[in-house]
Amino acid sequence: MLKVGDKAPDFRLMSDQGEEVSLSDYHGKSDVILYFYPKDNTPGCTKEACSFRDNHLDIKNNNAVVLGVSPDSVKSHKNFVEKQNLNFTLLSDPDHQVAEAYGAWGEKSMYGKKYMGILRTTFVIDKQGVIRHVFENVKADGHAIEVMQIL
């Protein structure tokens, strides 16, 4: 897991709009709230996404952008954005390389069964590409408010 003060690994992923997006696109321009979530259109992930949506203006006024990352496809992200009227970018990480680079991919357990998946984690990255805050084991409910308090 990356920690505060580490240089955030750059990446290039496809967005819900079918465009390539990289962390370096925001270098020198705005802080980045990079949040990793397991799956589009599931209860917790929808709650978390809608919380970022509902607080978008305050986030923008703090000169920050939100980028959500999951292994879902571009098409799935596009549908999720449209269904929930999301006002920020979702990125597709189908081979979970970016999640692994950030330490947001690991062993999980459900009903006693172990499997590998996204560890719900959020990174706040400054304009110079340095990690300024890490939220691990994120609880979806109210997470956007928690993030805004440190912007």
CATH of the domain at 106: 3.40.30.10
Q: How confident is the model at residue 1 (pLDDT cuts 50, 70, 90)?
A: confident
Sorting pLDDT into bands at 50, 70 and 90, what band is 4?
Answer: very high
> For the chain, what is the domain count?
1
**Nearest alpha carbon to residue 67 among 52, 51, 78:** 52
Residue 37 confidence (pLDDT): 98
pLDDT at 62 over 90: yes
pLDDT of residue 135: 97
Quick one: pLDDT at residue 5?
Answer: 98
Residue 108 inside a domain? The answer is yes
Is 45 an active-site residue? yes
Question: Each residue of 14-26: pLDDT tens digit?
Answer: 999 999 999 999 9
Helices and strands, number each (H, E), in the chain: 5, 9
Assess if residue 123 is contained within a domain: yes
- Quickly state the pLDDT bin for 121 (edges 50, 70, 90): very high
**Taking 90 as the threshold, does the pLDDT of residue 110 lie above it?**
no
In a domain, 3, yes or no: no
Asked whether residue 40 is domain-assigned, the answer is yes
Mean pLDDT of all residues in 114-140? 97
SS3 label, residue 78: helix
Q: Does residue 5 lie within any of the structural domains?
A: no
Q: Which pLDDT does position 69 carry in this prediction? A: 98
3-class SS at 42? coil
pLDDT of residue 16: 98
Domain that holds residue 80: 12-148
The pLDDT, as a whole number, for residue 126 is: 98
Taking the C-alpha atoms of residue 72 and residue 60, their distance in angstroms, rounded to an integer, is 25
pLDDT mean over 106-112: 92
Residue 104 is predicted with a pLDDT of 98
Query: Could you say which of 8, 45, 98, 125 is catalytic?
Result: 45
Q: 1 in a domain, yes or no?
A: no
Is residue 7 in some structural domain?
no
Query: Within a domain: residue 6?
Result: no
